[in-house]
Amino acid sequence: MQDQKTPVHQGLDTLCVHGGDALDVRGGMHTPLYNHSTFGFPSTQAVLDVVEGRAEGSLYTRYGLNPTIRATEKKLALLEGGEAALVFSSGMAAEAATFLALCRSGDHIVCIGDVYGGTHELLQSQLPGLGIHTTFLLGKEAGRLPEVITDRTRIVYFETPTNPNMEIIDIAATVAASKARGARVVVDNTFASPVNQLPLQLGADLVVHSATKYLGGHSDLTGGVAIGSQALLAAIWNWRKNLGQMMAPEVAYLLARSVRSLPVRVRQQNASALAIAGFLAQHPRVKQVNYPGLPAFPGHAIARRQMRGFGGMISFVFDGDAAATAAVVDRLELFTIAASLGGVESLVTQPVTTTHHGLTPEERARRGIVEGLVRLSIGLEDADDLIADLKQALRG
Ligand code: PLP
């Protein structure tokens, strides 16, 4: 491969296409797929140069010292405006390595707002076994952060927009309150994607993603990434290495391929979601629409400040019980019933039957997960077709 091209233009679209990539020596347009698990050296000195950090060569794929993986990491770091990135076998792998690297027994985490179920389980049920305890605040309780943060709080963690109610957490305000007590801020930017939101620019220390979602964008890969300063990522790198959480080179290649079209996809998803949220807001059988782009949505003012687009995720409350809502979901023809999000195809879930099925009725009520709640992930179909599908399903 030739040397990595230095991007002249710094726009996000340009970085998505060219960032981190190197031309193949045979003229291939992008960094090729190096599937190899290990790499050969011409001399002992050459291997020592890599092992001792004097040269950037390839060594062993589980370490991440593989050209395909490194090129994808450089691209992802550039998109989020971070110094470096580490890719993982899944979003959960990225989160778990982050928590393990930044916390020790006796340390404390604050988690604000609803987070992905796996994250919640890790924080609530598994990390306490290692002596790492988490205080959970609802999104609307974010202002209580200074009361619950302690000298042992290492991480303040949140997603914004949140799942499934699309609450908006004020990134800059949370950063200010956290930094005042020496805690690091980790933002899961999966829902917004770097096209719509750049938490590192607002002072966050780390961004994590389930790359399975918008970054991958086609519902055909599973991966994760953590992005931030070299210094913070160094400790996380070691956990990734020894827990064996590396993303496969094929997946890294596929991920870089997908990221090249990320801005085009996300901007169309933003536009379609805004149109669909507007349609739902006028519908007589819809009691509430949760979409940060709607002026009446409680988080709209903060979203306008910290987001460049409002994303492709919408939730709404149907005026009916669990069975009537399930019937609406079942009548949809273009939306597929599936738990994931961020792909080219539109998906639908009823959180009480899937993502939040395991919660007690009291906990669901506390978190605003009602029976009529439906979550939509807007894909790349024609917005008019998606609206027509919703119209027929709601009419029943
Ligand atoms: N973060 C968010 C916001 C998610 O929605 C998910 C999965 O749905 C994850 C993290 C975990 O990602 P993965 O399934 O790639 O491990």
Q: Which of 13, 62, 144, 260 is catalytic?
A: 62
Tokens of 132: 């790492």
> 198 C-alpha vs ligand 1 centroid, how far in Å?
18
Give the binding-site residues of ligand 1, using a 6 Å CB cut-off.
90-92, 116, 118, 159, 163, 188, 190-191, 210, 212, 222, 224
Q: What is the pLDDT of residue 3?
A: 45
The DSSP call for residue 41 is -
Is-cis flag, bond preceding 194, omega within 30? Answer: no
What topology does CATH give the domain 12-259?
A: Aspartate Aminotransferase; domain 2 (3.40.640)
* 116 catalytically annotated: yes
C-beta atoms surrounding 230 within 10 Å: 11
Domain ranges of the chain: 12-259, 262-395
Tokens of 121: 């389980």
Q: What is the pLDDT of residue 9?
A: 53
- Output the tens digit of pLDDT for each of the chain's 396 residues: 444 454 445 799 999 999 998 788 888 999 999 999 999 999 999 999 999 989 989 999 999 999 999 999 999 999 999 999 999 999 999 999 999 999 999 999 999 999 999 999 999 999 999 999 999 999 999 999 999 999 999 999 999 999 999 999 999 999 999 999 999 999 999 999 999 999 999 999 999 999 999 999 999 999 999 999 999 999 999 999 999 999 999 999 999 999 999 999 999 999 999 999 999 999 999 999 999 999 999 999 999 999 999 999 999 999 999 999 999 999 999 999 999 999 999 999 999 988 888 788 888 888 889 999 999 999 999 999 999 999 999 997
Nearest-atom index, ligand 1, CA of 159:
3
Residue whose CA is closest, atom 15 of ligand 1? 91
Domain 262-395 is found in CATH 1.10.760.10: no
Secondary structure element (H or E) that encloses residue 112, with its range:
strand 108-112
> 306 C-alpha vs ligand 1 centroid, how far in Å?
22
> 113 C-alpha vs ligand 1 centroid, how far in Å?
15
Q: Which residue has the tokens 């963690």?
A: 157
Q: Are 154 and 184 in contact (CB under 8 A)?
A: yes
Q: What is the pLDDT of residue 167?
A: 98
Cβ within 8 Å of residue 155, ≥6 positions away = 98, 99, 102, 103, 109, 110, 183, 184, 185, 186
Residue whose CA is closest, atom 11 of ligand 1? 91
Best residue among 88, 92, 209 to mutate for probing ligand 1's pocket (most ligand atoms within 8 Å of CB) is: 92
> 119 C-alpha vs ligand 1 centroid, how far in Å?
8
* 179 catalytically annotated: no
Residue whose CA is closest, atom 2 of ligand 1? 116
Helices (H) and strands (E) in the chain, counts: 15, 12
Rounded Cα distance, 161 and 100, in Å: 25
